[in-house]
Copies of this chain bind each other. A is one copy, B any other.
Amino acid sequence: VIRTAAVVGTGLIGTSAGLALSGRGVCVHLLDVDESAARAAAARGAGTVGRPEAPVDLAVIAVPPGLVARVLEQEQRRGLARSYTDVASVKSGMTSAVLRGAPRPGSFVGGHPMAGSERSGPLAARADLFEDRPWVLTPTPGTCRSALNDVLAAVSLCGAVPVVMEPEAHDRAVALVSHAPHLVASLMAARLRDAPEQTLRLAGRGVKDVIRVAGGDPGLWTDIARANAPAVAAVLELLAKDLLAMTEALHALAGTDTGAGPAEDALATVRETLARGQDGWSAVHGTEGTPPGGKVTLTVPLDARPGELDRLMHSAAESGVHAQDIRLSWSGTSPRLSASLAASLPTAEGVRRRLADGGWQVSAAALT
């Protein structure tokens, strides 16, 4: 159990951890070389400024990645805490540095909360930053079980979901799902830097989302890219190949009016790449609670009166069926539009009853 904690480095992550732990009754001490940052964190309610008089249960080292090993060594010598963790987004190199230099390596568990913002500093901190987010922990064979349990307790108090991984596997994973996407967004954003004003006026939500993370601190991301350089380079290398193939395909298409011959191959390259992209999108989004078990299709006849479909979509949404799970069909023989709703097996009966209560004629329920 964690009753006292110290946050070393009151930036976005450290202050958010302080807010979350303080909110759950932990007595948090805030330390930062920039005392105004620690004071700002305290003013937000993340804890009190200054060193504890006795060792705390857990110290969260939330300094930039390049400083973790040194700060950890210092703080362990001073006896700041019983257990230690960090929040650096690259783990393998740092873990070896820590194991080499720290006086008490067994009391340290590497950590990486998968949460953040394109904004930084204590003012951007939020108590719920880690809520339901994965928080990777990278214990080694030499890690004490009590240290691991202290860190697990803190992760739970922050509302995050602990995920234990090997440091190297973590680094490869974040290269793919975080660092490479960040650099790609930055490269795309960099291309927009000198665009004419009229061109920028046409920028919509699409490109803004693609480049959103590029608004982040270049210094921090340079450190991250550097610390995870081999894994990130491996992803970017494959991406550069794909990009060159796409560029070649577009050159082959330029100026051709029909899809015959070489243009047909080029078109297939573009189409297949986009389809692979859609699969990747589904893979990333599919992890968010695809319900187990089969689906039930509920069919509802409609009169095609204005507003009727919106009313059905509203009822469906209220009973947990999303718009993408609704299909419309219309047959010439019976001149009526009907909507098919796909509901997961455990919820289907509830959906059926709620629609029927709403006056809808739920005409069929077929297992698919």
Contacts and interface: CB of A to CB of B under 8 A. Distances in A.
A119 to B, nearest CB: 7
Most buried by B among A42, A233, A323: A233
Contacts of A2: none
Interface stretch (A73-81, A141-149, A218-226, A349-357): A218-226
Nearest to A213: B206
Contacts of A210: 181-182, 184-185, 209-210, 212-213
A154 interface: no
Contact residue range for chain A?
Answer: 35 or more
Interface stretch (A33-41, A51-59, A100-108): A33-41
Interface string A302-334: 101111111001000000000110101110000
Contacts of A43: 302, 304-306, 308-309, 337
Contact of A270 (B201, B209, B225): B225
A192 B280 contact: yes
29 contacts: A42-B306, A44-B310, A114-B204, A119-B324, A163-B201, A165-B198, A173-B199, A178-B202, A181-B188, A181-B206, A181-B211, A183-B273, A187-B273, A189-B279, A189-B281, A190-B276, A193-B276, A209-B210, A211-B280, A214-B274, A214-B278, A216-B278, A221-B274, A225-B253, A229-B251, A230-B250, A233-B247, A233-B251, A236-B246
Given A209-B209, A210-B213, 7 more contacts: A173-B198, A184-B188, A184-B243, A215-B281, A218-B274, A222-B270, A232-B250
